[in-house]
Amino acid sequence: MQQVIALIMLFLTLGQSTLVNYTAQMNLGGALMLVNRDYTLSSSYTPADLVMPNVERASDAVLLRSEAARALEDMCAAAQQEAGLTLVALSGYRSYSKQAAIHSKKVEKAGKKAANRVSAPAGASEHQLGLAMDLCTTYDHGLEERFASTPEGQWVGENCWRFGFIIRYKTEWEDVTGYMNEPWHIRYVGREHAKIIYEMNIPLEYYIAALKDESLQAILNTP
């Protein structure tokens, strides 16, 4: 673990613009596939293993890939058992056409610049991967920053990594991710990766840049 962190710290000494340009060309596949405005998905991309997780839901639009769905079920069960909290799944997989419709409405309402801080253009949303979920509470279904101050939001922020999820967008990362703080948006990357990302408190773009280094790949692949 210390070797992994040391290598990532080395990559963080690179200029931010260099990292952003570098990660735009990356695709590690699986749970580490990077999707943002620079690396987009085609209109035909649909995960083959989408399932509906057995969790509390605020809508039926909560499909996830099977591995991420199982992890979400484990996380929601733990929140209930450990803290008596009910996490509610609000929005998971979104098709290309659904993204286009949502983004168009945001642009119409707030203008393109403002809309781009809170909404991804079609193909640029990691919701299309089937690895992202928006969470809310039983008493508030709004996707707002206030989620972070709720007991549910605080528990998610402190514990989601244990189940392979990360908080994908934070205020201090906006220049890298392109999005404002979204404490309700979690992204599945797998437990090992989530633990490192959480401990280092870095955006996924930086982590994937480091993973492209062959020496780091060798360490992670060592039994």
Which regions in the chain score pLDDT beneath 70? 1-29, 115-116, 213-223
Report if residue 72 sits inside a domain.
Answer: yes
pTM for this prediction: 0.83
Classify residue 22: in a domain, yes or no.
no
pLDDT at 20: 42
Q: The domain that contains 171 carries what CATH number?
A: 3.30.1380.10
In this prediction, residue 76 carries a pLDDT of 98
pLDDT tens string 54-74: 999 998 889 999 999 999 999
For residue 80, the model assigns a pLDDT of 98
Q: What are the CA-CA distances from residue 42 to residues 50, 69, 138, 205 (Å)?
A: 17, 23, 34, 20
The domain tally of the chain equals 1
Within a domain: residue 195? yes
Between the CA of residue 180 and those of 114, 148, 169, what are the distances in Å?
A: 10, 13, 7
Alpha helices in 30-150, H assignment, sequence order: 66-83, 96-110, 112-118
Kindly report, residue by residue over 96-105, the tens digit of the pLDDT. 999 888 888 8
Q: Residue 212 domain-assigned?
A: no
Name every residue whose Cβ is closer than 8 Å to that of residue 105 and which is 6 or more positions away in sequence.
none
* Length in residues, the chain: 223
Residue showing tokens 């085609």: 42
Residue 44's contacts (CB-CB under 8 Å, 6 or more residues apart) are: 96
Range of the domain at 86: 32-201
Structural domain includes residue 16: no
Query: What backbone torsions phi and psi does residue 186 show, to the nearest 5 degrees?
Result: -110, 150
Per DSSP, 149 falls in state: G
State the amino acid at position 109 in one-letter form.
K
- The answer to whether position 61 is within a domain reads yes
- pLDDT at residue 216, as a whole number: 52
**pLDDT given for residue 57 in this prediction:** 96
Report the candidate in 125, 129, 133 with the shortest Cα–Cα distance to residue 71: 133
pLDDT at 18: 42
Residue 144 domain flag: yes
